[in-house]
Structure 1
Amino acid sequence: MTHTSRRRKLPLRKRIEVADEDGWTHITTSGVSAHRAIQPRDYKLLPAEPPLRLTIDELKKQYETHRQRWRSSSAGDALDSVLRSRAASSVGSIDRIICIGLGSPSGFVRGGWVDRRSVSLYQLAALESVIEFLAGPSIDATVKQVLAQDPVFNDLDKELLHFLGITVVDHPAAFDLVNDQTFLYCPGAEILHLTKLLPYNPALLLGGPLESVSSENGVLAAFAQTRNSLQLPPFEPNQHAFWNTRLYWKEDAHRSQNVPCDK
C-alpha cells in the first residue's frame, strides 16, 4: 500500500489588537501562546469590515451580552464608586462626554486581520454606564453632548451608537471640542492622541496609564501631576479591554490634599 504524506493546512487566525502597560498598541493572534508584535505606525485607518451576515439586531444582542458582563464586574463597580465619591467635584462640572479611539464594535480592522470587536463592545458598555450615571437624578451634571470619533466606524457601528444616544463625528472634529468641562473617554486611545488632547485640560479622563510614560512626555507629565487617579481592577471577561486603565480627575481644592488615592 502506498502511503502519501500530506501537509496539513493550519487555519488562519485573526489577530487581536491589545495595548501593553505603556499604552502602545500590540497585535496578537487568538491563542494561548500567541506571539505579540508591535503594530507599525504607517497604516491607514479605514472603516472596519463586519461579517457579511451580521445585522444590527444581532449586533445589539452581542452588545447586550457584553453590557451585562460589564455591569456585574468589579471594574464596573469600582468606576461607579469613584465617580460617585472621590471624583464627585469633577463630575459636577461635566457638560459633554467625548469618546475617542473606541474601535469598531462590529468589524475587523487592518484589512480584515485584526479582531478587536469584543474589546470595543466592553468599552462601549462602560461608556454607556458612565452616560447613565451622569444622567442620574442625584448627579449635579448637565451633559449636553455625547460624541464618539474613530475612523474605523462603519455603518453598523454608527447605527449602534445612534441607538445608544451617541453622536458620531468625523475625524478629527472631536479634537477641537474638548474643554475643561469634558469627560474624555479614551480607553482605546494611544499616547499620540492623548498628547494632542490633554492640553485642553479635560475635567475627567478614562485612559492611560500616563505614569509609565509621563517622564518622557511633558504634556502627559503636566496632566498627571495635577490629577488624582485610580486604576480599575482587572476586568476578568477580557483584561485587554481595560488594560491598566485609570480614571483621572481634578484635585478638589476644598478637600484635604491627603485624600487616599492610587496614583
Structure 2
Amino acid sequence: MSLDKTEADDGWTHVKPKSRRRLGKKSPKAVHTVKENQIHVVQTENTRSPEEIAAEYQRIRSDFEGTKAGEELHELMTKNGPEAVTQAVCLGIGTFDPPDGGWETKRRTFIQLIGFLLMVEALEKRDKTKVKCYFQDPVFGEADKTFLSSLGHEVVSSPEGFEKVDGNTLLSGVHLYRPIYAKALEKCLPAVFTGTDLDVWDTVTLGTMDDLAMAKTMEETYSKKKHPQDPMSTAFTNTTIYWRPQSTAPSSSTPEQATEESQTPTDIAETTTENEKS
C-alpha cells in the first residue's frame, strides 16, 4: 500500500494511503510545524456553538452504535479489556469544527471520539466502575472544550495528558506524529492502546530517533486486533487496538526489561481493516 503524509485541518500530521480523490483546500487557521520533537499548532477558531457540535455528535453516534464496527468495539473490550482500567486519555483527536467545514473531516473526528467512548463505556459497564476521561489537543477551540466538558470529560493542556498515562490507562491516539506516540509511551505501557500500526513506521520516516522501543515491546507482548472500520470514513485506517493480557500486571519497566519479563500474548483472530486519519 502506498502511504503519504498530510497536514490535516485538525492541527496534526496524519499518515494516509495515497488517493486520487481531490480534496478541498485547507484553511491556515489550524497549522503546525515539526522540527525534531517540537510540534507547534494553532488553536482552532470555532464557528459553531457547543450545542451545535453536541447535536451532530448525538446524530452520528446514534448511527454508528448500530453498525458492525460499533458492536465489535463494545464486544472487544467487554471480553478482552484488562481489569482495573481507571482512566482514559485521548490525544490529538482534532477539532469538531474544522475551519473548512469539511464533512469527511468532521465525521472522522466524531467517529474517533465515539469509538474511544464506546470502549470506555464497555469497561465501565463490565466492571461496574467509573473511568475518568481526559482529552489533550492544542488545536481545540473553546467550543470543542465546552462540548467535551458537557459530556463529563476533562480537557487538559500538554504535557498533562502524556503525564497521566500509567498502567491502568486506556490510551487513544489515532494517526498522530511519531514523537507524540514516543512521548505518550515513554514512562509506562498503558492497559489499552489504540493507535497507528507499528509496521506503518517501517514504510514512512517521521523521526530520526529510535524512539519507539516501548511501542515495539507492546507489539511483541500485548494482544492486538485491527480496529473495526467505519464504513463511511477512513477514521481507523491502519489502526490497531493493543491490550495487556489480563494475567499480566501493569509495569513501568524499561523496554528491555519488559521484553524479558512479559508473558506471551493470547492469540486473537485479526479481522477488519484499519486506517489512518487522512
8 Å CA contact retained: 2:120, 2:131: no
In structure 1, the partner of 2:34 is 41
Distance 1:144 1:251, change over 3 A: closer
Question: What letter is aligned with 2:84?
Answer: S
TM-score normalized by the length of structure 2? 0.71
Residue 10 (structure 1) aligns with? none
Residue of structure 2 aligned with 1:237, choices 219, 232, 241: 232
**1:49 to 1:26, Cα distance in 2 relative to 1, 3 A:** farther
Once residues 49 and 23 of structure 2 are traced to their aligned partners in structure 1, the CA distance between those partners, rounded to angstroms, is 30
For 1:28-78, what per-residue CA distance to the aligned partner results, in whole angstroms no more than 9, with x for missing partners? 9x983449xxx8635731111223xx2222211111122123212222122
Cα distance in structure 1, aligned partners of 2:16 and 2:221 = 33
Partner of 1:180: 167
Q: Deviations over 1:216-249 (max 9, x none)?
A: 74332112111111002331121x2111221101
Question: Tell me, what secondary structure is at the counterpart of 2:152?
Answer: coil
Please state whether the residue corresponding to 1:116 is helix, strand or coil. Answer: helix
Structure 2 residue identity aligned to 1:41 = V
Counterpart residue number, 1:145? 132
Q: Which amino acid aligns with 2:41?
A: L
Residue 78 of structure 1, aligned match among 72, 76, 84:
72
User: Are 1:133 and 2:126 matched, yes or no?
Assistant: no
CA distances 1:10-39 after superposition (whole Å, capped 9, x unpaired)? xxxxx9839xxxx962589x983449xxx8
Q: Return closer, same or farther for 1:225/1:169 CA change in 2, 3 Å cut-off.
A: same
User: Paired residue for 1:225?
Assistant: 220
Q: Please, which of 85, 96, 118 is the counterpart of residue 105 of structure 1?
A: 96
Structure 1 residue 204: Cα displacement: 0.4
Alpha-carbon distance in structure 2 between the residues aligned to 1:262 and 1:31? 28
Distance in 1, matches of 2:244 and 2:14, equals 27
Task: Map 1:110-121 onto structure 2 (within 5 A).
Answer: 116-121=105-110
2:207 alignment counterpart: none
The 8 Å contact of residues 16 and 116 in structure 1, kept in 2 or not, is answered as no
Aligned residues: CA RMSD: 3.5
Any idea what SS the aligned residue of 1:147 has? Answer: strand
1:69/1:237 contact within 8 Å kept:
no
Measured at CA, do residues 165 and 94 of structure 1 come closer, stay the same or move farther in structure 2, by a change above 3 Å? Answer: same
Distance 1:158 1:64 in 2: 16
Deviation by residue 1:73-119 (Cα, 9 ceiling, x = unmatched)? 2221221111111x23x1x220101111111112338xx99983322
| Residue 257 to residue 195, structure 1, CA distance change in 2 (3 Å) | closer
CA contact (8 A) 2:223 2:268 kept: no
Alignment of structure 1 residues 195-210 onto 2, 5 Å? 195-199=182-186, 200-210=188-198
| 2:253 alignment partner in structure 1 | none
Contact 1:17–1:27 (8 Å) recurs in 2: no
Structure 1, unaligned runs of 5 or more? 1-14
Amino acid paired to 1:50: N
Q: 8 Å contact 2:78–2:123 — kept in the other structure?
A: no
Question: Number of paired residues?
Answer: 232
Larger Rg: 1
Query: 1: CA distance between counterparts of 2:153 and 2:269?
Result: 31
Equivalent pair of 1:184/1:206 in contact (CA under 8 Å)? yes
Query: Residue type matched to 1:49 in 2?
Result: E
Residue 114 of structure 2 aligns with an amino acid whose one-letter code is A
Instruction: Give, in whole Å, the separation in 2 of the partners of 1:252 and 1:131.
Output: 16
List gaps (5 residues or longer) in structure 2: 1-5, 25-31, 204-209, 249-262, 272-278
Change in 2 beyond 3 A, CA 1:226/1:141: farther
Could you tell which deviates more after superposition, 66-75 or 224-233? Answer: 66-75
* Counterpart in the other structure of 1:262: 270
User: 1:226 & 1:261 partners in 2: Cα distance?
Assistant: 16
